[in-house]
Amino acid sequence: MDIGTANLEEIAKALADGLRGIVSAHKPEFVSQLLWLLAEGRPVSTERIAETVGISREEASAILRESSGVELDDKDAVVGCFGLSLMPTPHHFRLGDHEFFTWCALDALFLPIVLNQSARVESSCPVTGATVQIAVSPDSIEGVEPAEAVMGIIVPESAEVCCDLRRAFCDKVHFFSSSEAASQWVAEHAGGSILSVENAYALAHLLLKSLF
């Protein structure tokens, strides 16, 4: 069963409490600028990050290496940042002319808001294997196929998120082809909740408001 608006606010607060430590370690401006650079569709070098943000290469390198919110390649270039990634995951994410992936289902809903661009999401239901397709704009959900698709989410402890964002949170947030499929997953995962795609999008807005 989908959860209500009051619970959405509680979930957003719990997630923000865990993510705030990662974001504040960089400052929100660092996170947003890094996302915009990566949204150009190619790895972002440490040198370019340092130049764009206005810090030394050494400082930029230290921030990136210490953060669980970024993904680096073997040349220490950023290939993933707070949910947006060039590396394959189950969540395909088309932004403009560029193909990306997201770390989890919720990332695919809040990134269009942050980047102020429409996106198309294609994700595989972990229970049925069916493809879930969603069209997202910075202001609304434009389309969902199948119409009965939902999102399942487990909210971790704040301390776990700071240590390992993807393992603690992202790996536990998925799109499902139906509430029945999501219910099977929730039954096997303590603390799981099911949200309609519209409520999941509302959660993305609440989370960003809490963080920034």
Contact 11, 204 (CB under 8 A): no
CB atoms within 10 A of CB 91: 25
What's the distance, Cα to Cα, between the start and end of the chain in Å?
30
Whether pTM > 0.75 for this model: the answer is yes
In one-letter notation, the amino acid at residue 101 is F
pLDDT, one tens digit for every residue, the chain (212 residues)? 455 555 888 888 878 877 776 665 556 677 888 999 999 999 999 999 999 988 889 988 888 887 778 899 998 899 998 899 999 999 999 998 999 999 999 999 999 999 999 999 999 999 999 999 999 999 999 999 999 999 999 887 655 655 667 877 888 899 999 999 999 999 998 888 899 999 999 999 998 888 76
Q: CA 65 from chain center: how many Å?
A: 20
Contact 92, 107 (CB under 8 A): no
Burial of 98 (0-12, 13-18, 19+ CB in 10 A): middle
Contact 135, 143 (CB under 8 A): yes
Per-residue pLDDT of 130-139, as tens digits, reads 999 999 999 9
* Domains, the chain: 1-212 (3.30.450.410)
| Spatial distance between the Cα atoms of 4 and 124, rounded to a whole number of angstroms | 25
Contact 149, 175 (CB under 8 A): yes
Cβ within 8 Å of residue 64, ≥6 positions away? 46, 49, 70, 72, 76, 78
